[in-house]
A and B are shown apart, each in its own frame.
Chain A
Amino acid sequence: DSGVTQTPKHLITATGQRVTLRCSPRSGDLSVYWYQQSLDQGLQFLIQYYNGEERAKGNILERFSAQQFPDLHSELNLSSLELGDSALYFCASSASSRSYNEQFFGPGTRLTVL
């Protein structure tokens, strides 16, 4: 158990809908990262937050947004969902925003868009 929690574990929804994925980092970790794992794209970095502020953006679509709250939990919002958004979404946390810190991953949220 990495100490990172993600809810829900599974999510099934329809095209055009909007969903919110939630992540609680390990106790004491200030940095949260979101990744998408799909069969065709592999593991792709989406976005990073550090202590409530956005630090880095990766291959995140404009239909997707995220935030980190004062209690450090984070939410990833996916809107106008398409079939291609079906994937496993991971949240990871690390102690700081430094690149040498290992990231600890949550169990993931499997999103299925029908």
Chain B
Amino acid sequence: AQKVTQAQTEISVVEKEDVTLDCVYETRDTTYYLFWYKQPPSGELVFLIRRNSFDEQNEISGRYSWNFQKSTSSFNFTITASQVVDSAVYFCALSEGSGTYKYIFGTGTRLKVLA
């Protein structure tokens, strides 16, 4: 069965600290897609990144970086030099290559960046 686990319910850091948000997934498919979304206090869900199961290259986008490791079924997200505007709930999601194409979301990690 497919599942996404975000074990960290809430993380608080001080501005400029680096922070890593963990995501562990389960799937029987060999083809699947992983996503990260940000939900700021305003409520909308903002797409951050997509990664497919055949591409284990890590990705960096500004202060954001993602570490995908199939061996441990993890897709972790690191924010470098965090800022107050990074405060939000972050969701990891899984979409399988076969079947319904729905997203299975983790429970989210609330990140609080303190000034």
Contact = CB atoms under 8 A, between A and B. Distances in A.
Given A90-B45, A100-B52, A107-B43, A55 B35 contact: no
A67 interface: no
Contacts of B95: 99-100
Given A43-B91, A107-B43, A108-B44, A99 B50 contact: no
Which of B43, B47, B100, B101 has the largest number of chain A CB atoms within 10 A? Answer: B101
Interface residues of B, number: 26
Interface stretch (B66-74, B77-85, B104-112): B104-112
A90 B42 CA distance: 13
Nearest to A108: B43
B50 A58 contact: no
A51 to B, nearest CB: 14
Contacts of B43: 88, 107-108, 110
B33 A99 contact: yes
Interface in B86-115: 91, 95-97, 99-108
A48 B100 CA distance: 8
A56 B47 contact: no
A106 B44 contact: yes
B104 A45 contact: yes
B47 A99 contact: no
Interface residues of A, number: 27
Interface in A12-60: 33, 35, 42-45, 48, 55-58
Nearest to B102: A45
Nearest to A50: B101
Given A43-B91, A43-B105, A102-B35, A55 B100 contact: yes
A80 interface: no
A2 interface: yes
Contacts of B33: 99-100
A54 to B, nearest CB: 11
Contacts of A48: 100-102
Interface of A: 2, 33, 35, 42-45, 48, 55-58, 88, 90, 92, 97-100, 102-108, 110
5 contacts: A48-B101, A56-B99, A99-B96, A100-B52, A108-B44
